[in-house]
Structure formats: structure tokens, C-alpha cells
């Protein structure tokens, strides 16, 4: 049997585009004499559809598209993912389904059994879990068709009480197909391969895996569809971060391919993070119909990194950097920013905020009289910058990119309605130490981000001689504490036991918890870690968890 894996960039809710792409891939596979072409989980409607699934018209349109696609499967079979109605009166109204199409119609429908409800996933909100296990018979072959999480219950400490493959293996299948929607994170690819390898090895069957590629709002899909031999070794991977389609042949249970990759390239952490963030920006803009980005360029490392990533994603002609100096801005920050603008070849403006700042100070003078200059005055500067950036955004159709990093978001080191403004948080899932490391990676062959930006002490430059270290510990220490708390969900005592100073730990954890209200108002954050701020971390704003 000749099988084609189609790794496609879908657009949630865009049925016309998704259907057309699927039909084109079917025709391509058909022209290359394939017997079966496989698409990803919920490929018809895109992933995640979230509460769009509550609209009956949405489900009906999805099912109509499946019928249309089936009409193109007369000399070839296809597997596509989409929602389907649950005919039973009990349980949820929908299933997360895989449709097997051949001879011009829907021949069989397989439903997802294990519905994730952790991190960014909330599938049990809409879908009923499958309890009826069956295989697909096609061209004298028995196919164990599974949907994403259905293969993930193979750990020593399984999350679910049932493993669908334990039921399916009773039918003596010849191979496994898994259609998935597995978002990118720094650790996900390794985990994914471990799970797929374990399944192929345990059941001694070839395994075909198809993933989404592209991005939907904050979620980035890396692709990386792949095939495993029955001995559990990876046979071939499709490209990461781009659409791809490849054909494989099963002959007497053995795999062969038209384009065998003998040496799988090492997955460099920051190469993948850079590609993920560039793809995330590009897809966010493309799928919302935006073309141009604006951002404030401060002379610091965060805005420099976001400017670089935006220029890679959107093209240098579509990025406007605005320098917004104040009385506290250093000369070298302005010069460093201009060097970056020159290196990237992007447009820029220099607009002093001094007149705006003075005007607001004068307006507030009767009310602030007799008080000390402090955070209120610092925040006025940040909000003045946001007013000017948003005015340019509104006037000329730019989308403002936010430049806050994860360390700052965690401890509230940012101004609400000031530097926290923006339509998209590009590096809000990168700790400050990771920001430095990513910039070093970008500069590995040539100086793109000026070295002066990378070597000077971080500062918001909102008061004379200000440095981040005035109010925060060294970022290496801060980020280790934050990682333990946020990613590893370790509590105060566990972190202190790891060797950190008790009062510092208490102060940092208190800052994280006290600033949850700010993060709820931050832009959507491109997710590249296993625990990003946003839908994947649900902490109550007004909760009481003493530290």
C-alpha cells in the first residue's frame, strides 16, 4: 500500500480554504499512484475550533465539506479529521472524529477516545469520548486509526484509565495511523517522538503520524509529521514549520520511501524557537488579514529581538520601528537602536515624548503637588509612548507588537496600558536569559543585533541611572526561581530547599501572584514553552495562596 502524508497549514473556520487544500493534496497523491492520503486531526475546521463548535451551522458546514471531499476519493482513499454529531441522547453533542473516505463517500468514522483537558487543551468541554473500538479494512490491510491523544496513554503513570491501542491490537492491525494537532513547545518534539516510538515498539507495527503546521492565534504547530518502523526507530520526518507532503510504501509490512532521510538533523533549541516565533508572527498577521507591524524601539534587548523577528516574518518593508526618547534616555540607546534599524533595513521614526510627558505632568501638578516623584511619573512616560504608537497604528493600519518578556510579565515589571500594549506578545514566553541566548544565536554568523545592546545592563530608563537590578535579582537567579514555580509547579518550600535564599523566594512568588490581574490584560502570547501565560495557566486573580 502506498500512503501519502499531507502536512498542511489549516485556518480555523475557513472551510473553503481548508477544503481546497485537502482536495489539491488528494489530487497530488492520486497522480503519484498513492492508495491512501492522510490529513491531520480536525483538518476540515482547523485546530483548535474552541467554542465555534457550539454553533450547529459550524458543524453542518464541516460535515458538508467532508461529503464534498469524499467525492474526490474515487480511485484513492483519504482520512480527514473533523467534528461529528453524537447520535446518542446521553453525553456531549459531538465527537472529535476521523473520517475514512473511499469510493466517493464516507465509509467509516472513528472517534477520539482520550480527550485532553490539561494545559491549553479543553476538548472534553465539547466532545464525547469514544467507547466503541474498531479498525479500518482497506486493500486487504487492517488499519488501527487513532486520533492524537489516543496514543499518549503509554507512560508508566498513565493519565487515563484506558489505552485505545489495547483494544485495537486485538484485531491484529497491520499498521497504525495517528492524526494529530500537537502544538510546538521547546520539549514537545522529544516527548512526541518518545510516545510514538514507544507505541511502534510495543505493538511491533509501522506507525504513520500526521500533524498540523502553521499557527492559530497563540498556538504554533511545527509539523514534523513522521513515520516509525515496527522496531520503534524513526524512518522519516517531514519538514518542520512548513507544509510538506511525502509518500511511503508498505511492502509485506516493511517501509520504503521515495525520499529517505538517512541522517535526521539535530534539533537546535534556538533555531527551532526562532523559526517558531517567526511563523507565529507571520500566521497571526496573515490569518487576521494584517500586513504591517509597528513597535517601540528602546535600545534594549527585548525590543531589538522583536524587531528582528518581525522583519523576518513580515519583510523589512512592513515593519516600522519608532524611537521614543525621553529626558532619561541615554545617547547610546538611541545610537544602538539606529544601528539595528540600519542592519535590518527597516523604516523608523524618532519622536520625543518630552512634550507629551511635560503636558501630562503640568495637568497633574495641582493633584501631585507635595508628593515624591515615583512610579506614577515613570508610568506616565510608558503610557505616553503607548499613546503615540497606538495613534500611528490607528492612522496607518499598523498592528502594535508587544515586547515584554516572560520574566517581566511574571513579576509585573511592566506598565499596564503602556509597554504592555500590543496586539500580540511575541516573546512573552521567553525568559530574559533565553532572550539573551536567542540573540546570541541570531548573531552567531554576523552582528545583526548590535553587541552594545547585548552587553549593557538592562534598564527601563524611566529615571536617572535606572537598572533592572535595582528592584530585581540577577536574571539568571530570577529565571531559575520563576521556572521552578511556573513550569515545574514547585512551591515555596521546594524552591528554597533547592538552595535559593528564603526571603528572595517569598518576594518573587508574591510578585508573580500579585500580578495575575495584569497578565489577564496582556496581549495573546506566542506559546513556545510547556507552560505559557494565557489559556494554559489558569490561576485565579483574587486567589489567596500565602507566601
Element (H, E) at 505: helix 502-514
Res. 544: pLDDT tops 70: yes
Give residue 259's pLDDT. 57
**What mean pLDDT comes out for the span 19-25?**
98
Element (H, E) at 399: strand 398-402
For residue 85, list its beta bridge partners: 94
At 543, is the pLDDT very low, low, confident or very high (cuts 50, 70, 90)?
Answer: confident
Give residue 105's pLDDT. 97
- Average pLDDT of every residue of the chain: 94
Task: List phi, psi (to 5°) of 181.
Answer: -135, 85
pLDDT in tens, 454-496: 998 777 666 676 676 667 899 999 999 999 999 999 999 999 9
> Does 112 qualify as catalytic in the annotation?
yes
C-alpha span between 268 and 444 (Å, rounded): 13
User: How many angstroms separate the Cα of 236 from the Cα of each of 6, 90, 196, 220, 249?
Assistant: 14, 42, 13, 22, 12
Q: 2, 30, 34, 41: which one is catalytic?
A: 41
> Does 148 qualify as catalytic in the annotation?
yes
Element (H, E) at 31: helix 15-31
Rounded percentage of the chain residues whose pLDDT exceeds 90: 88
pLDDT in tens, 82-104: 999 999 888 999 999 999 999 99
Q: 148, 226, 421, 439: which one is catalytic?
A: 148
Q: 112, 197, 275, 492: which one is catalytic?
A: 112
Give residue 456's pLDDT. 84
> Does 41 qualify as catalytic in the annotation?
yes
**Cell 472513528 sits on residue:** 110
Nearest to 127 by CA among 49, 25, 17: 49
Res. 260: pLDDT tops 60: no
C-alpha span between 475 and 300 (Å, rounded): 15
Pairing label, strands 77-85, 94-102? antiparallel
**What mean pLDDT comes out for the span 157-174?**
91
Residues composing the chain: 547
C-alpha span between 225 and 236 (Å, rounded): 9
Q: Is 409 exposed, middle or buried (0-12, 13-18, 19+ CB in 10 A)?
A: buried
CB atoms within 10 A of CB 535: 18
Pick the more confident residue, 308 or 263: 308
pLDDT in tens, 108-163: 999 999 999 999 999 999 999 999 999 999 999 999 999 999 999 987 778 888 89
Res. 257: pLDDT tops 90: no
Pick the more confident residue, 432 or 332: 432
Q: Say which CATH superfamily domain 2-259 falls into.
A: Carbon-nitrogen hydrolase (3.60.110.10)
Res. 545: pLDDT tops 90: no
Pick the more confident residue, 376 or 257: 376
Rounded percentage of the chain residues whose pLDDT exceeds 70: 95
- For the chain, what are the domain ranges? 2-259, 271-458+515-519
Give residue 463's pLDDT. 60
pLDDT in tens, 179-200: 999 999 999 999 999 999 999 9
3-state secondary structure of 153: coil
Give residue 256's pLDDT. 78
Give residue 265's pLDDT. 58
Strand order in the sheet with 94-102: 105-111, 94-102, 77-85, 36-38, 2-7, 244-251, 254-257
Q: Measure CA of the first residue to CA of the last residue in the chain; give whole Å.
A: 61
Nearest to 136 by CA among 79, 85, 88: 79
3-state secondary structure of 419: coil
Could you tell me where the DSSP H helices lie in 353-431? 354-368, 375-396, 406-411
User: How many angstroms separate the Cα of 129 from the Cα of each of 123, 150, 453?
Assistant: 9, 10, 52
Give residue 59's pLDDT. 98
Give residue 61's pLDDT. 98
Least confident of 227-241, 313-327, 330-344: 330-344
User: Any idea which fold 271-458+515-519 has?
Assistant: Rossmann fold (3.40.50)
- Whether 271-458+515-519 and 2-259 are alike in CATH topology: the answer is no
Amino acid at each position: 500500500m502506498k500512503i501519502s502524508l499531507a502536512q498542511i497549514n489549516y485556518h480555523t473556520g475557513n472551510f473553503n480554504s481548508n477544503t481546497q487544500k485537502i482536495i489539491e493534496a488528494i489530487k497530488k497523491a492520486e497522480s503519484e499512484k498513492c492508495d491512501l492520503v492522510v490529513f491531520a486531526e480536525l483538518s476540515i475546521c482547523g485546530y483548535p475550533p474552541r467554542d465555534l463548535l457550539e454553533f450547529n451551522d459550524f458543524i453542518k458546514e464541516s460535515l458538508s465539506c467532508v461529503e464534498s471531499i469524499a467525492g474526490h476519493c474515487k480511485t484513492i482513499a483519504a482520512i480527514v479529521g473533523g467534528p461529528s454529531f453524537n447520535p446518542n441522547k446521553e453525553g456531549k453533542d459531538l465527537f472529535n472524529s476521523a473520517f475514512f473516505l473511499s469510493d466517493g463517500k464516507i465509509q467509516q468514522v472513528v472517534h477520539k477516545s482520550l480527550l485532553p483537558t490539561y494545559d491549553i487543551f479543553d476538548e472534553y468541554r465539547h466532545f464525547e469520548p469514544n467507547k466503541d473500538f474498531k479498525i479500518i479494512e482497506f486493500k486487504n490491510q487492517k488499519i488501527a486509526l487513532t486520533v492524537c491523544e489516543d496514543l499518549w496513554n503509554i507512560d508508566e503513570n498513565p493519565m487515563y484509565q484506558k489505552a485505545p491501542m489495547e483494544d485495537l491490537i486485538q484485531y491484529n492491525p497491520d499498521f497504525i495511523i495517528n492524526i494529530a494537532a500537537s502544538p510546538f513547545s521547546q520539549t514537545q518534539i522529544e516527548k512526541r517522538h518518545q510516545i510514538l516510538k514507544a507505541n511502534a515498539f510495543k505493538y511491533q507495527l509501522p506507525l504513520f503520524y500526521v500533524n498540523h503546521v502553521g499557527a492559530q492565534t497563540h498556538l504554533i504547530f511545527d509539523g514534523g509529521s513522521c513515520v516509525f518502523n515496527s522496531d520503534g526507530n524513526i524512518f522519516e520526518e517531514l519538514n518542520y514549520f512548513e507544509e510538506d507532503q511525502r509518500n511511503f510504501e508498505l511492502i509485506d509490512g516493511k517501509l520504503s520511501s521515495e525520499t529517505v532521510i538517512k541522517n535526521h538533523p539535530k534539533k537546535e533549541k534556538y533555531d527551532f524557537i526562532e523559526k517558531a516565533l517567526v511563523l507565529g508572527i507571520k500566521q497571526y498577521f496573515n490569518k487576521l488579514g494584517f500586513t504591517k507591524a509597528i513597535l517601540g524601539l528602546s535600545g534594549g534587548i527585548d525590543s531589538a529581538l522583536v524587531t528582528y523577528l518581525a522583519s523576518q516574518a513580515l519583510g523589512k518593508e512592513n515593519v516600522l520601528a519608532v524611537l521614543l526618547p525621553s529626558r532619561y534616555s541615554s545617547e547610546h540607546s538611541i545610537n544602538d537602536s539606529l544601528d539595528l534599524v540600519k542592519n535590518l533595513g527597516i523604516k523608523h521614526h524618532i519622536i520625543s515624548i518630552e512634550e507629551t510627558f511635560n503636558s501630562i505632568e503640568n495637568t497633574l501638578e495641582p493633584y501631585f503637588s507635595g508628593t515624591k516623584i515615583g512610579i506614577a511619573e515613570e508610568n506616565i512616560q510608558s503610557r505616553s509612548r503607548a499613546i503615540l504608537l497606538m495613534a500611528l497604528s490607528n492612522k496607518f493600519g499598523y498592528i502594535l507588537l508587544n515586547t515584554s518578556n516572560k520574566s517581566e510579565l511574571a513579576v509585573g515589571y511592566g506598565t499596564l496600558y503602556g509597554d504592555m500594549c500590543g496586539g500580540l506578545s511575541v516573546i512573552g514566553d521567553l525568559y530574559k536569559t533565553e532572550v539573551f541566548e536567542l540573540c546570541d544565536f541570531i548573531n552567531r554568523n554576523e552582528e545583526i543585533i548590535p553587541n552594545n545592546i547585548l552587553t549593557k545592563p538592562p534598564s527601563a530608563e524611566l529615571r536617572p541611572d535606572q537598572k533592572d537590578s535595582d528592584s530585581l535579582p540577577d536574571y539568571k537567579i530570577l529565571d531559575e526561581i520563576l521556572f521552578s514555580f511556573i513550569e515545574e509547579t514547585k512551591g515555596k518550600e521546594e524552591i528554597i530547599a533547592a538552595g535559593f535564599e528564603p526571603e528572595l523566594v517569598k518576594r518573587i512568588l508574591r510578585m508573580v501572584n500579585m500580578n495575575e490581574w495584569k497578565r489577564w490584560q496582556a496581549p495573546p502570547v506566542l506559546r513556545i514553552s510547556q507552560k505559557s501565560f494565557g489559556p494554559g495557566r489558569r490561576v485565579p486573580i483574587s486567589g489567596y495562596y500565602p507566601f
